[in-house]
């Protein structure tokens, strides 16, 4: 079911409030939603939000805790994973982020904070292949993404799929991880297509 890496940026740019709420549960359609243990799927995912979204979430419920420019949501998503919101100074500007942290690990919030600062302080904008795939997953409408079911080979079942436009052949369903560079470029917004890949990802 494609667990998230330790820490992973899952959306490029600043998410609007509707995008933010949609990405709070990017894995809504996963098989066995009510049976599986989803902590590894969410823990470590993060994306940038705007100040209004950050302030709205601060006011919606009393936070579980506030530490300087960070606060955690009182309601847990799954197990010990909850939303943590960050207001971080990066290159002399205050920017806002949401991340899912596993609070059973006392270092998870600080590890997330440092990873966001490191990723967003890169002198040249770049996207890894994994970040490109995660952005495609985050920005694809539910009707055009899903999970491989029983008609797929057993090794592929449960993996994420996306619908592609295949020209004269119509639409094609393909595993997200198997998209070619050209297919990835076609699914990305124009402003993201030509960002280079980091030399060391």
- On whether residue 198 sits in a domain, the answer given is no
* Whole-structure pTM value: 0.79
- On whether residue 178 sits in a domain, the answer given is yes
CA neighbours within 13 Å on the CB side: how many for 41?
22
Q: Are residues 113 and 50 in the same domain?
A: yes
With tokens 């243990």, the residue in question is: 37
Residue with the bigger pLDDT between 125 and 55: it is 55
Q: How many independent structural domains does the chain possess?
A: 2
- Reported as a single tens digit per residue, the pLDDT across 36-88 is 667 777 889 999 999 999 999 999 888 999 998 999 999 888 888 999 999 99
- On whether residue 3 sits in a domain, the answer given is no
Q: Are residues 148 and 89 in the same domain?
A: no
- On whether residue 49 sits in a domain, the answer given is yes
| Whether residue 143 has pLDDT greater than 50 | yes
With tokens 């805790």, the residue in question is: 65
- On whether residue 63 sits in a domain, the answer given is yes
Task: Report residue 201's pLDDT band, with 50, 70 and 90 as the boundaries.
Answer: very low
Q: Are residues 26 and 73 in the same domain?
A: yes
Per-residue model confidence (pLDDT) at position 72: 94
Task: Report residue 2's pLDDT band, with 50, 70 and 90 as the boundaries.
Answer: very low
Q: Are residues 147 and 86 in the same domain?
A: no
Q: Are residues 107 and 147 in the same domain?
A: no
- On whether residue 174 sits in a domain, the answer given is yes
Per-residue model confidence (pLDDT) at position 195: 54
Q: Are residues 64 and 148 in the same domain?
A: no
Q: Are residues 145 and 103 in the same domain?
A: no
- On whether residue 162 sits in a domain, the answer given is yes
76, 91, 120: which is the final residue of a domain?
120
Q: Are residues 101 and 150 in the same domain?
A: no
Strands (E), 73-142: 81-90, 93-102
Expressed as residue numbers, the domain containing 16 is 8-120
Highest-confidence range of 24-28, 59-63, 86-90, 160-164, by mean pLDDT?
86-90
Reduced to 3 states, what is the DSSP secondary structure of residue 139?
Answer: helix
| Whether residue 3 has pLDDT greater than 60 | no
Q: Are residues 82 and 139 in the same domain?
A: no
Q: Are residues 188 and 103 in the same domain?
A: no
**Mean per-residue pLDDT for 184-192?**
72
79, 101, 120: which is the final residue of a domain?
120
Per-residue model confidence (pLDDT) at position 200: 40
- Reported as a single tens digit per residue, the pLDDT across 84-120 is 999 999 988 899 999 999 999 999 999 999 999 988 8
| Whether residue 197 has pLDDT greater than 80 | no
Task: Report residue 199's pLDDT band, with 50, 70 and 90 as the boundaries.
Answer: very low
Instruction: Give the contacts of 180 (CB within 8 A, at least 6 positions apart).
Output: none
| Whether residue 122 has pLDDT greater than 80 | no
Q: Are residues 102 and 150 in the same domain?
A: no
C-alpha–C-alpha distance, residues 132 and 87, integer Å: 24
120, 147, 163: which is the final residue of a domain?
120
**Mean per-residue pLDDT for 138-148?**
86
- On whether residue 161 sits in a domain, the answer given is yes
């Amino acid at each position: 079911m494609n667990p998230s890496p330790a820490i992973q940026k899952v959306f490029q740019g600043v998410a609007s409030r509707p995008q933010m709420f949609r990405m709070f549960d990017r894995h809504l359609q996963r098989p066995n939603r009510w049976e599986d243990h989803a902590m590894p799927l969410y823990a470590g995912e993060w994306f940038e939000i705007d100040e209004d979204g950050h302030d709205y979430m601060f006011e919606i419920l009393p936070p579980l805790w506030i530490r300087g420019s960070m606060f955690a949501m009182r309601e847990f998503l799954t197990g010990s994973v909850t939303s943590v919101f960050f207001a971080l100074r990066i290159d002399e500007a205050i920017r806002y982020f949401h991340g899912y942290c596993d609070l059973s690990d006392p270092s998870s919030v600080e590890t997330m904070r440092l990873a966001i600062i490191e990723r967003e302080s890169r002198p040249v904008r770049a996207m890894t292949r994994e970040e490109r795939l995660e952005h495609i997953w985050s920005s694809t409408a539910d009707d055009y993404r899903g999970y491989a079911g029983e008609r797929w080979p057993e090794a592929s079942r449960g993996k994420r799929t996306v619908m592609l436009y295949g020209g004269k052949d119509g639409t094609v369903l393909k595993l997200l991880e198997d998209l070619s560079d050209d297919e990835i470029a076609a699914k990305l917004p124009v402003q993201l297509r030509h960002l280079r890949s980091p030399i060391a990802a």
